[in-house]
Amino acid sequence: MTIDKHSHQESAYLDREIEFIRLVNEHLFPIEYIDDIEFSPDRSNIPISPQKPEWWYEDFEDLEYSEKFLLSLMGQGYNLGEWELHFGFTPEYITPAEDIYPDSLTKLCRRYKSPLQHLVTAIRIIDYSTENIWLDVTCETSDWLEWTYENVMFLAHKWLEAVLMMENSNALAHLIETSLTTRKTIVKLWNQAS
């Protein structure tokens, strides 16, 4: 068996390299366009692509309920006059996002054992400010790292972190969608963090 075999003449990768990339995709982190990777002209970099479409390119009405709620909370969605119709209540006021102290919001949320403790994580995911390469990359900011052992291990670690953050955010999203009390509590926490 030849180690440096090319099954496809057009491929930039050796068969063993393609096998390695497929193993990374299966066991460590997702490789974008895995089915077409062997024909990629750039073989020196690991492609890192957005995990979901950027909300600002989507029709606001097509977003998930929890995304519309959190974006509205942050001043990027429905105005207060539309809250009753869309979220079942109208807050007296909502503190503008620029007046919120993230550390204060984090401390307030940590008091909860429920998914409410993950409010800041959910907001950071929507805001692309998690400091996690997998969650913060957008179409405009796509990133690449060289295929090195250190980078593969870094991305594997960050992928596990991203998965946990997404799971926690999804648990909160479910509560936002199903509980008026949760939505009211989130507004209260938000306003207290100013």
CA 191 – CA 100 distance, rounded (Å) = 8
pLDDT of residue 155: 96
What pTM was estimated for this model as a whole? 0.85
140 confidence band (pLDDT: 50, 70, 90) = confident
Does the structure show a pLDDT above 70 at 193?
yes
| Nearest Cα to Cα of residue 48 among 158, 148, 133, 164 | 133
List the end-to-end C-alpha distance of the chain, in Å, as a whole number: 66
List, for residues 78-116, the tens digit of each pLDDT value. Answer: 999 999 999 999 999 999 999 999 999 999 999 999 999
H or E segment at 176?
helix 149-178
34 confidence band (pLDDT: 50, 70, 90) = low
Q: Cβ(72)–Cβ(88) under 8 Å?
A: no
Q: Cβ(42)–Cβ(11) under 8 Å?
A: no
pLDDT of residue 53: 79
